[in-house]
Structures are given as C-alpha cells and as structure tokens.
Structure 1
Amino acid sequence: HTMVFYSNYDGSGESYFEDFVTKARWGQTGVWSNGKGFPETENLLFKGAKDATRFKRWIRHHQQVSRFWFARFKDLSTRDIRRNAVICEGLAKARTDSEYRALIELMTSRVRTDDTLETREIQSLLLRGMGNLKAAHVVAVNFPTEGSTGNAALANWLADLSGASSSPTHARATFDGRINKEETQAINIAISPSGLRRLRLHELHHEHKGLTSDSFASLPGAFRSGMTSAGRKQILGDTNHNDWSWGSDGEPDAVLIIYAEDTAKLNPIVADEIAALQAAGFSIVTEVETKPIKEKPMREPFGFVDGVSQPVIRGQAGSIAAHNRMHVVEPGEFVLGYRDNTEYFPTSPMVNAHAPGATQLPSIPDQTASDYPAFGTDPHTAPRDLGKNGSFLVIRQLEQDTAGFDAHLKMQAETARAEYDLDYIDEDWLAAKIMGRWKNGASIVRSPRKDIPSPSMSMSVDDNDFQFGTEDPQGLKCPFGAHVRRANPRDSQDPVSPNRQIALSNRHRLLRRARAYEDKQTGKEGLLFMCLNANLERQFEFVQQTWLNGTRFHGLQDEYDSISGNAVQTTNRLSIPTAAGPIQVKGLQSFVTVKGGGYFFMPSRSALRFFSEFVASQAG
C-alpha cells in the first residue's frame, strides 16, 4: 500500500521540514508512523517526527522530484499571499474595534502576539516610574453633581484627558510612557468606585456566557467595596486609624497625578488645572505635594533608598537582562487584557456593545492572537472590554514619624547591645535588620556587615538578583521578618525548589510608584505609596494581609512587619537569628500612620473616550 503526499511551498525545503518538526510533529507522526523506516514512535502520536534529523532524512529518501515549477505571484511568498487574502476578508467583514486593530496590524506587517503592549493606549504611569520628572502633585477630586450641566462638564473633562477634544480646556493625560527630553510634564488619571457609579456604569447591562450583569458588577468585588469599607479595613489592618484625611465619605471620585521637571514648572500646571476643575463644578477633596527628587535613587523619610526591587514586564526595557531574570512577569500581572503568569487573561470589566461610545472599546480577549485573524466571527452584540490596557491603582498616604522612629531605634539598639553584650549592634545595624537592606539600598543578604566591603554596598545592578532561600536559608543575614523578605519572599519559603517558589512569589508582585511627601503647613512627612496591579486581592491585599500583617509568616510567632504592617497590636517584636541563638528585639512600636488613599481604576485612552461619550449622552 502506498500513500502520496502532495505539497506546494516556497522557501527552502529545510525550512519547510523544520516547521513540521516544531509546529506539527504530532500530526506528522500520526499520519506517517506506519511508513517503512519512519523514526520510532510511541503511542501513535509521540516521538517519531520529534527526532528531527531522522525524520528529515526519511522525507528526503521518499521525496519524488517535481519536474515543474508554478508561481502565480512570483514576487510574493505564500505568507504574503495569505496575508493579502486575509486583509481582503477583513476589509469586507471587520465590524468591531478589535477587528479593525487586527486589520491595521496586518496592513503594517506588524507581528501580532498576546504580550505586545498597545503602549499608545496605556497611561504612562503603568510603563515607567517618571524618574526624570522630579516633582509630582496628586489632586483628589469629586465630580460635578448630576444634571445636564454637570454631566456636560464631566464629559468635556474626560474628552480633554483622552485627547478626543479639539479645543481642550483641561490638561491631557499622558500615554505611551516614552517621554522625550523635550517633554516636561505628565498627567495620569484614575477613577474610584464612587466615581464609576457617578458615571452611571451600573445602569449598563450586558450578557456574557449566559450570565446577565451590569457593568459596575463586572468590576472586582474588592475594588467595588473600596479601601475604606469595613471589610477592606479589616483585611488591610486599618481598623485603628481614625484620622482619615481623604474625605469623610470614603474615597474621592478620581485622582489626578501630575508630574513635572521641577517645582517651578509643576506649580502653575497644578494651579491652572485646579482652577479649571473648580470652574467646571468639580470639588477638591485633598492634595498631596510630593518632595522633589533631589538625587537618585529616591529615599523615603526614614532614610532608606526606595523602589530598589521592581518587577519587570516581559517585552519591556530590562526584561532580557540577566540580573532581572527572576523579576520578569507577564504583562497581564499588571495590565488588563493580556495573559498573566498562568497564561490566562485576568478578569476585566465589560460594557454593553450598544452603549454610547462602546464601539471604541476592544472585544473581550478569549483567543490567542494570530498572524491570520478570522474576521466576522466576533458578534457585534458581544460585550466590550472596558479594562483592556488599564489597571487598578492603590494609593496609601503613609505619614511617618521620623524623629520618633530614630529615637526608638537608638533606644532599642542600646537595649539589645547591653542585653546580648554585642558591640556591633547599633541603630544602623538594627535598621538594616528591620528593613532587610542598608539605608543606601544594599541588601544585607549580599552585604551582611556594613564594615565589610561588598560590591552591593555601591548598589551594583546584581544586588537585586539574590535569593533568600538559596543564599540565606536560616535568616542569619536577613531575618525572616524583615520588610523586604516579607514584601517579596522570592524563594525563601521553599529553598529546595527555588524556581517554583519564585514563580509563586511573582504572582503577588506590585508595580510600585511611590514618592516621599511633606505637608508644608504641618511639617509632617511620609510616603505617598502607589502601586499598580491587575488583581487587588491576589496582589496588593495578599501582600498586606498575609505577608506584611501576617503574625505567623515564615513560622514566626506574633510578629508583623515593623515598617508598613498594621498597628492592631500596640507593640511588635523582631526575631534576629544568629549562629549563637536568636536576638529578640521586643517592644517595637509603629511610626507609620495611614492618612488616606483608595482603590482606583486607571483606564486606557479608549476607555476614557468611552466614558466621555457615555456621560455626554446623559447630558441631554
């Protein structure tokens, strides 16, 4: 019995056969496994064509030479021909925003992948830390009251921010993240649960996979509840804080985060924007002016370098550097609409396809990106993805008692030095044990003694590629309860399987964007903590509740994080392992108070335009 396989291809035969091996070896094995001389197979589909050398030799041995050539389009490859055919189909059948974008990518020959970020849609704060813009100011606002006038003002503001307005009266938000040296400012916008309710998102209903829901309900439960709800306060350990300064009714409707080169350039921008907001009926809830960054790296009020260890989004700058390897995560860990570390798309808010402005929003991502997308298969009535290219922003205004911290640290160091008769215990040593890094940012895993020279003491780039479990399994260098070991344990909790544990830890990473601040009226200072994540519960709340506030973290007993843990207990302690036995620092007090903040949704450019059109439709 004989089987004949006919095939037309362009390019080299070697390239063609390699595609069989890498992309279709199971099918090739299943079809040809009974052929005489075919490489050994297993269970009909396995091995066989995977043995590339023998498989290709077998093909060559049975190949029949073709005596003619045929090329209808001699200057085009089969890939070009197929792409052109798909473009023609797209021109005839594309009906949704996602299909139009896929069509444009085909026309520009751009390679389509799931993890290629649409940077022109993403607010700049998600893509970079704004380190070159040294001054920043946060303005928290409430929207104008409902009514035709208030809705019109709100719609115009959203249109200005998105860049949709031809004659803006407000500043535009900054997208793309690539700020040139000539650009001296950046503005980002995020909206709270109350703000989205004010936009009447709850009045939009849609059906998805047999379930009917309103658009507000499609947002995560933790976000809908808000940071100031009783349940979230319990999770975050905020139950003892009664001096909230971000409004009496919970979170403001939105926050504007304004950056500039320096204070001289920042102040007039802020003044103009506040004046325009107030004239349009917005009310200012609070403002936080951050300290200008005088030198890099930035230090928080207690004196520690801040922002040393950050996750790196795959495909972005630095993601291929060797020292960042353990910190690389998939885009979907922070940006909605892309696959996360589990290879699934994070849940995202949806809106009805027939809502005013919804045509600008992409479809719900439920299939792998393809070089040859199928057009006309996406129902134009299917709900649209409001979240794609957006993220969830957490803000916490953390007031720090620097003088109290320094005095308490000195007293605790003197007590421990006398109790354990160890001359090397001083304030700097104890501060490093509490934080997990020296104040200059060097890790105590790589530089356990400040008087011993180490490359990491000068902040070399490889000072962030250490592993707690592999290099310090007993906590003799960095205590298990140190802040940085709690906030990102890396492989600490399973040093036997470090790669698996790092993968687990990376499911809880936060993209931090903090700035130090000082209240000029009261002189009080602190850290304006900001972080971005795609899943509030799995990322920010998990880190805060389980790792920082967890009194049994890593087998410890009745200890929580001394830097940013809760203050439910009036005093804390820190166990510092040593070769001679643990040093117990008892009676540690908290010198950080949560003064305000909230959960916010940071929308994409298209989402802002949708909000603008949707609110404008309510203005009558």
Structure 2
Amino acid sequence: MISIAATALRLWGHDTSGFDPSFHGGMRDDAASLGDPIGSASRPVDWTFGTGEQDRVDVLLIAGHSEEALLRQAVERWRSMLVPCLTPVLTEYGRRRPGDKEFFGFKDGISQPAMRGVTPDGEYVSRRVIASDDPRSDLYARPGQLLIWPGSFLFGYPQQTTPLTRPGAPVPPPVPWMRHGSYLVFRRLLQHVRAFREAVKGMEQHLTQQGENVPEGWVAAHLVGRWPDGTPLTASPETPDPDISNNRNRINNFRFFASLSPTPLADTGDPPETLPAVPADPLGLACPRVSHIRQVNPRDGISEIGQEHHPGKLMLRRGIAFGPEEEEAPNADRGLLFLAYQTSIVEQFKFVQVTWANATQRPTGDGRDPIIGQDGTLETQRRIQLFAPSRRQRRCPFNGRWVVATGGGYFVTPSMSGLRYLLNIDEDAPH
C-alpha cells in the first residue's frame, strides 16, 4: 500500500490547499497541538524522524506477508529500486504478538466500528449477528460494534449523521482522484514498559497504604478500562472472564451510561443464543471515567458534542507492535505503529487525541487519558482519581509518560484508479 504526504504531492505539481488543513501542513506543524513536547527550532523533542527537510516523510509504504523472511527480502528489493529517487527515513518491521497483545500486556484492536453498506450481490458489507427483530440490529453489526456509514472512512460515500441509520450526503473528495480514497494518520508510539510497570506497582503500594486490598492486575486494568485479556470492566468488574474475552459477541457488548438488556442473536445455534444483560456504570464504579477506553470512545456517555455525534469521531485504526521482546533486548525500542484511516484528520484523529485524550475536562471531566494523554511537557508527575476496591474514591499519584510519539505523518491513500492517475499510468482516471 502506498500513502503520500502533502510535500510529495506539491513536488509532483499538485495543489494541496483544498485538502484537510492538517494534511496541508503535516504532522510536524501539528505536534504542539497534539501534546508532543516542543524544543528548540520548534521541533518535537521526542521525535527521531520527520523533524526537518533532511528526514521528512514524503511517502509511506506498507507491506505485509505471513513469512517474515520473504517480507524482508521484498522490502530490501524495493529499497534498492527506490534509493535513486527516495532516501529511506525509517524502516520498521511490525508483527502480531501472542494473543494480539501490545507490550503493556493488553489485548489490542478490540473495539473497531463496522462499515454500513451492501455488496453488488446484496449482501451486507459487515455481517449482522443480532436478531433482526431486536431494535439494536439496525445500529450494530456485532453487539457493541457500531455500524458507521462509509463516508467516515472513504471519500465519495454517505457520511455519518443523525439519526444513525439514515445516510448523509456523500463526503466530497478534496480532488476528484481522491474518490474512494482516505486520509491515513501514522504515529510511531514508543512504549516505556518498565516505567509503566513501576508506576503501576507504585500505585498499588499507595492504595495498599490507604487500607485498600488491591488484587493483582487491578490498577493496570483500571487505567485501561479492560482486563489484559480484553474483558471490559463494566461486564466483569472483579476478574477477567474468558467466557467474555473469548466470545466475539460479548467482548464489546457494553455501554457506560445505560444498562444493556439481554441481547438475542440471530440463529447461530440450537437454541438461539441470548447474551446476558450488562449493567450501566455512569459514575465509573467499575470502569473509571478517566480510563483510556472511556476517554477515546465515550460510547453512550455524555460529552460536549452529544452522544449522537460520537460515532462520527470513530476511525478505522490498527496498532501494530514493533521491536523485540524484553527478554531478547531489554533496552531496545518497542511499541506500536499506529495507523488510522478517516476522511477528516481534524474532526476524527485530532479531535479524539486533542479534545478527549489530552483534555482534563473532556469528555468526562475526570482528567487526562492515563495511557496516551499528553500535555505538551516532559512532566511525569500526575494523579488519577478512581473508585478503589473498597468503593471509596481515591486520588492516586503516578509517575511516567508511558506512550511517547517519536514521529509520524499525515498521508492520503488513494484508490487504485487515483494512484494510477498520480503515476501517469491511466489517463482515464478522475482528475
């Protein structure tokens, strides 16, 4: 897959003024607003690439293969072909870790939206598993997996609006050749695993000194909002539950402000399965209101933009692990290659990062996201307020910036016809 930055488009003679304002300027220009600490010459202090003309990222190539050796061979072949024209700035090999867990030990990539629409054969693009006579079947593909109009991710398709089941007007592409294309946000996120573990241990000790009986893994789970296996705290506050985490229909089936009645599924067995009810948690007794999953996706929670507008902020995203395991190389870089597709960088990626994750008063008013929230400084001393195991509110100090952006960029990912037009392969492509 080939994705292209605004700098490359301008070098090729294209006007980018009609594109998303953030895309036009690039991620480095946005670094301060994203919360990345800024040093001399207005450069992000943590970035290891993309800070200037010599190491800017013009083109992003993404390749995948089930065999690592064959992937590396292909990458080296492409590098040798491109070197006369392009200078490699970063080469990173991502991978799936056991259980799809990121380096803090939590199952990742669980909460993804589903795309609305039907195929030319009349089949749903996203499989529907909720019983058709249940009103939730019009809103969700799987329980908890919200159906989103494709205009949130692809130009030229109906946009998300209210009511959620009614399509909005097609999202116009910034230029004709971007129809069927998307914006791609890429961030290389370094994870400080030892600092995370030490901070969690310190928080456990702090709560214990206040008379709390803190089970193993409790603090980390409450920072994230799920147990490491993916079990949501709202559905199982006391312990992980493999019956939930191993069931694709249950792992995402929860809300925050309203309880869920039993959910009947379509005929998938004999007798048909009905998922159990899930209680509401408006106060954050089970899942802290400041936890990562509530800060970046309030679901049915209250926020400054209103519940009905939350779905329009969702992205198609993926975090791909990079770097060796700790036992192989304790001091090596490791973390996530964050990728997100959307049709508005400002209203989707930037809104979620800046207005929710980095904010202390939004969306819940209980503080900054403890996992990815940043305040633009190198300060590591922070506090979080949560309901302890005793159900008493505790204000708990912790130390650490555990997830640090070390570079990234904004790109467009054209459709095949758009790419052929850019490369002057197909003169009939839209232009």
Task: Please tell me the TM-score bracket, short chain as reference.
Answer: 0.7 to 0.9
Residue 257 (structure 1) aligns with: 62
> Structure 1 residues 431-440 or 520-529, which shifts more?
520-529
Residue 422 (structure 1) aligns with: 212
Of 446, 452, 455 in structure 1, the residue corresponding to residue 235 of structure 2 is 446
Matched, 1:472 2:281: yes
Cα separation, 2, equivalents of 1:248 and 1:486: 29
Matched, 1:574 2:384: yes
Q: 1:319 to 1:542 in 2, by over 3 A?
A: farther
- Superimposed CA distance per residue, residues 61-110 of structure 1 (whole angstroms, 9 cap, x where no aligned partner): xxxxxxxxxxxxxxxxxxxxxxxxxxxxxxxxxxxxxxxxxxxxxxxxxx
Q: 1:320-335 residue pairs with structure 2 within 5 A?
A: 320-322=128-130, 323-324=142-143, 327-335=146-154
Sequence identity percentage? 28
Residue 46 (structure 1) aligns with: none
Asked if the contact 2:145–2:252 (Cα under 8 Å) also holds between the matched residues in 1, the reply is no
Q: CA deviation at 1:281?
A: 2.3
Residue 108 (structure 2) aligns with: 306
Q: CA deviation at 1:600?
A: 0.5
Q: 1:535 to 1:439 in 2, by over 3 A?
A: same
- Superimposed CA distance per residue, residues 111-155 of structure 1 (whole angstroms, 9 cap, x where no aligned partner): xxxxxxxxxxxxxxxxxxxxxxxxxxxxxxxxxxxxxxxxxxxxx
Q: 1:108-123 residue pairs with structure 2 within 5 A?
A: none
Tell me, what secondary structure is at the counterpart of 2:384?
strand
Q: CA deviation at 1:324?
A: 4.2
Q: 1:346 to 1:596 in 2, by over 3 A?
A: same
Tell me, what secondary structure is at the counterpart of 1:599?
strand
Cα separation, 2, equivalents of 1:194 and 1:555: 37
Letter in 1 for 2:252: N
Tell me, what secondary structure is at the counterpart of 2:395?
strand
Q: 1:228-377 residue pairs with structure 2 within 5 A?
A: 228-229=28-29, 232-240=30-38, 241-249=44-52, 251-278=56-83, 280-290=84-94, 292-295=95-98, 297-315=99-117, 317-322=125-130, 323-324=142-143, 327-342=146-161, 343-350=168-175
Matched, 1:607 2:418: yes
Tell me, what secondary structure is at the counterpart of 2:184?
strand
Question: Higher helix share goes to which structure?
Answer: 1
Asked if the contact 1:312–1:324 (Cα under 8 Å) also holds between the matched residues in 2, the reply is no
Q: 1:412 to 1:541 in 2, by over 3 A?
A: same
Q: 1:433 to 1:294 in 2, by over 3 A?
A: closer
Matched, 1:565 2:373: yes
Across the aligned residues of Structure 1 and Structure 2, the Cα RMSD in angstroms comes to: 2.4
Matched, 1:531 2:344: no
Q: CA deviation at 1:580?
A: 4.2
Q: CA deviation at 1:262?
A: 2.0
Of 180, 187, 194 in structure 2, the residue corresponding to residue 396 of structure 1 is 187
Q: CA deviation at 1:555?
A: 4.6
Residue 251 (structure 2) aligns with: 463
In our comparison, the structure showing a higher alpha carbon Rg is 1
Residue 323 (structure 2) aligns with: 518
Q: CA deviation at 1:562?
A: 1.2
In structure 2, stretches of 5+ residues that fail to align are 39-43, 118-123, 131-141, 162-167, 259-279
Q: 1:105-254 residue pairs with structure 2 within 5 A?
A: 188-202=1-15, 216-229=16-29, 232-240=30-38, 241-249=44-52, 251-254=56-59
Asked if the contact 1:318–1:324 (Cα under 8 Å) also holds between the matched residues in 2, the reply is no
Aligned length: 368
Tell me, what secondary structure is at the counterpart of 1:335?
coil
Asked if the contact 2:152–2:159 (Cα under 8 Å) also holds between the matched residues in 1, the reply is yes
Q: CA deviation at 1:299?
A: 1.0
